[in-house]
Structure 1
Amino acid sequence: MTTDAAANKLDTDAGDLAAHLETQDYVEVYGHHDADGIAAASIITHALLRTGTNVRLRISPRVSPDEVQGTDAVVLCDFGSGLADLSDDVMVIDHHIPQFEGRYHVNPRLCGIDGERNLSAAGAAYMVAQHMGDNRDLVGLAMLGMIGDGQAIEGKNLELVDEGIAQNYIVPGRGIPLFGRDVHEKVYCAAAPYIHGFSGNEDAVTALVEETTVRGETDYDLLLSRLVLAMGPVQNDTAMTGIWGDTWDLQRGMIRDAHSLAAVINACGKTGHGGLGASLCLRSTASVDEAWEIAREYRLRVIEAVKTATTATGPVYVVDDPDVVSGAADVLAGDLLNAAPLAVMAPRGENWSVSARSAGKTGCNLAELMATLAAECGGVGGGHATRGGAKIPAETIEAFKNGFMEVCA
């Protein structure tokens, strides 16, 4: 499929789903509990409310066919594509590997567009929203999906960003693209990338900021040099280049810095405060300070998990906190000197939560691997080629671990 044909099909699919949404009096909107899913669901909620449609928005770590079939109009955001047994009348806006064959399905992969790198669920939701009215002011939310899922600003993503810049909803800049309200917090809470010797180390960060502040201003050349020297012996080039780069000021964001807002919304979702994350996307100012603190605590939990997980052996790491397995997996796979696929897992009740990551150069498709191993162990799994997840019953977790280690050996 040519680039133009792919774009036309995606736009047609978005238009069909939007037209169907506009015939509904009431819609149940479900969003996955990460930055991309919450942003995508919030975009659709914005668009529906502006047309006068009654909406109920829910944020969840997963959804099953039984939850959404036989109910009112339902649209699933950032999940649903992988469920082949969904009712045909469910609407899906997603970018994962498609199994769903219903009529109302917007997914870049169905159009030959790379859903791993070039369009997130939030980006797809933004395209749907444009068929429901002038919703260009929501483009900043589409950017949260790109950042949250670690996508590239290229292809369809670049088109959306350029549109946002042209409309002055997004203002580009250069700086430290990390979560935080000041330099101290950006370094202290750095988890993507993790900064060896400084992340989670209050005394070291305080000393660093004092030593690199000249006449009340941060000397960024000196700061970055100090950070790179600390990271160099134990971390890869991706981590080191990740401490400086493009920044994005979202003119309509409750938190203007896009990287910080994406991190805050993701942390809210992963800690069971998905409604709070969505409220920020819906432009409520009521709980911004609370959301910041939730995100700060969450990132420090990720950092602590990384510090303890690095003592594990092989490609499987066990941590105690199930809420941070995804964040810890991102750090361990993307920032340390580790080229092989790895998994981070933690017990959650009668099951184990698992997140797997790879650098994308191993030829191992984690979406397929996690789905296959999980099914063999009586659980569920899936995801992307380089980012997978699973829920595994406790009684079969050793079999899952052994299977993962055997494939990745």
Structure 2
Amino acid sequence: MSVEEAVDRLASKGFVRVVGHADADGVASAACICSALTETGIGYRFTALDDPSEVASTDGDVFCDLGAQYLNGIDDGVVIDHHPPHGSFDGVVVGTDAPSSSIAAHRVASRLSSGDPVSALVGAMGDDVPLSEVSDVVDEALAAGVERDEGVRLVGNDAAEALTYSTRPFTRLSGSPDEARRFAESVGDDELPTAVVLLALTNEGTRAETAADLVGDVYRMPSGVGLHELSRYVETCAVSGKPGLGFSTCLDPASCIDEARSVWRAFESTLIETVRGARIEEGSPSFAYVDGSLDTGAVADVLLDRVTGDIVVVGDGEASFRAEGFDCERVAREAALTVGGAGGGHASRAGASFDVGDEEFAQAVRKAL
């Protein structure tokens, strides 16, 4: 299906119900579309879903970062989703060839109005898309006033705060504000990039690729808010049950950034505690069992850096997969189906929901493998 068909459907409506996945890519995708709707004079309502499989029971005209894997449950509408499609329906599907749903949404929004390259990049960063793959959108953002520099891609007001709440990389300073402050004060601004990379590599076993990604191009809006920072704030708001705040932060960062930063601090603090308390069974893949309702995808991202090989994180009826040795999307889907749940995602990262015990689901994963 074409972008033009999606644009025609949206332009013909007076009001649009926009449904997005509750993560950075889903929320940023919705922000791209809703910003364009506003410029065009079309009203909208935004809602977010934690579980993409619930899309079948949700009324929507546009589905952002969800829907492609559950097409049989949707009657009509526009699906903007970079996940592999399953099933068929009478509407329009765009984005399955895009690196992120937000980039696909930006393509649609740019045809409908002027587009929002910042939200497009926020979503792409949330899905770990290298910005070199979306250089055209980067160029649009630079033309719109975003500034590019070189530095450390940490999130926070200053180095001490960034190291205190850092989970990627996860270091001995994570969750230790006093130690983080002493470390930051012991190195100068010029030495900070090298110091942080060495800290990541030597203290917690962070993968070399993750440590290398800490230093490079950084992008800041005229207000001074960094795009990597903004993406992390939107992600943590979305998975903390506040997708509306993440959505508003995309559309108007200046007015929401302080509240979003507070949510980020609380989320990262809980994530640090959860990672330190995870029960890990090493193997191929390794399994990690966590307590509480924290997003297992966030835990999986951290543990992928700290555990050698592939990882499956299981806890509270959810599971997240990060792997290169097997097809995560297939295994998540097949394992979930055997226990009456639902799963999907990408070959290297996927998720599942289930209503059985953690150990029973882990057995289903082993059988699927």
**1:383: how far off?**
0.6
Quick one: which amino acid aligns to residue 183 of structure 2? L
What is aligned with 2:139? 162
Match of 1:240 in 2: 211
| Alpha-carbon offset, residue 177 of structure 1 | 0.9
The corresponding residue for 1:91 is 78
Matches within 5 A, 1:185-334: 185-195=161-171, 197-213=172-188, 217=189, 219-220=191-192, 223-224=195-196, 227-228=199-200, 230-231=202-203, 234-251=205-222, 256-283=225-252, 285-309=254-278, 311-314=280-283, 315-333=286-304
Gap change, CA 1:301 and 1:201, over 3 Å in 2: same
| Displacement of 1:88 | 4.4
Equivalent residues of 1:77, 1:93 under 8 A apart? yes
CA contact (8 A) 1:43 1:126 kept: yes
Q: Deviation per CA, 1:139-190: give whole Å up to 9, x if none.
A: 01100111100112234x222212322x144322211112211111111111
TM-score (norm 2): 0.92
2:26 is the counterpart of 1:37: yes
**1:344 aligned counterpart, secondary structure:** strand
SS of alignment partner, residue 350 of structure 2:
strand
C-alpha distance in 2 between matches for 1:100 and 1:260: 36
Q: Which residue of 1 aligns with 2:330?
A: 368
| Residue of structure 1 aligned with 2:57, choices 67, 73, 84 | 67
Equivalent residue for 1:145? 123
Report if aligned partners of 2:151, 2:193 keep a CA contact under 8 Å in 1: no
Q: Check the 8 A contact 1:309/1:317 in 2, yes or no.
A: yes
Residue number among 105, 114, 117 corresponding to 1:125 in the alignment: 105
Correspondence for 1:336 among 289, 306, 310: 306
Deviations 1:345-378 (Å, cap 9, x if unpaired)?
221xxxx0111111x2x1x110111011100110
Q: CA RMSD in A?
A: 2.2
* 1:204 shift after superposition: 1.9
* d(CA) in 2 for partners of 1:291, 1:36: 16
Shift of 1:250: 3.0
Show the counterpart of 1:357: 322
Give the Cα–Cα distance (whole angstroms) in 2 for the partners of residues 61 and 316 of structure 1: 23
Taking the TM superposition and a 5 Å limit, the aligned residue runs for 1:41-56 are 41-56=30-45
Q: Point out where structure 2 has 5 or more consecutive residues left out of the alignment.
A: none
Equivalent residue number for residue 174 of structure 1: 150
Residue 343 of structure 2 corresponds to 381
Q: What is the CA-CA distance between 1:308 and the residue it aligns to? A: 1.2
Give me the whole-angstrom Cα distance separating, in 2, the residues matched to 1:134 and 1:229: 43
Contact 1:212 1:222 in 2 (8 A): no
Q: Spell out, residue by residue over 1:96-120, the C-alpha distance to the aligned partner (whole angstroms, 9 max, x if none).
A: 01124335434343xxx3x4xxx21
Hey, what's the Cα distance between the residues in 2 that align with 1:58 and 1:187? 33
Q: Structure 1 residue 401 and structure 2 residue 362: aligned?
A: yes
> Take 1:229 and 1:26, find their aligned partners in 2: how far apart are those partners?
51
Aligned letter for 2:173? F
**Paired residue for 2:9?**
20
* d(CA) in 2 for partners of 1:178, 1:332: 18
Q: What whole-Å deviation, never above 9, does each CA across 1:18-52 have from its counterpart, x for those lacking one? A: 11101011110011110000000011111111111
For normalisation by structure 1, the TM-score amounts to: 0.83
Evaluate the alpha carbon distance shift between residue 154 and residue 86 of structure 1 in structure 2; reply closer, same or farther with a 3 A threshold: farther
CA distance in 1, matches of 2:87, 2:55: 11
Change (3 A) 1:86 1:273: same
**Greater than 6 Å deviation, 4+ residue runs:** none
Matched residue pairs, number? 366
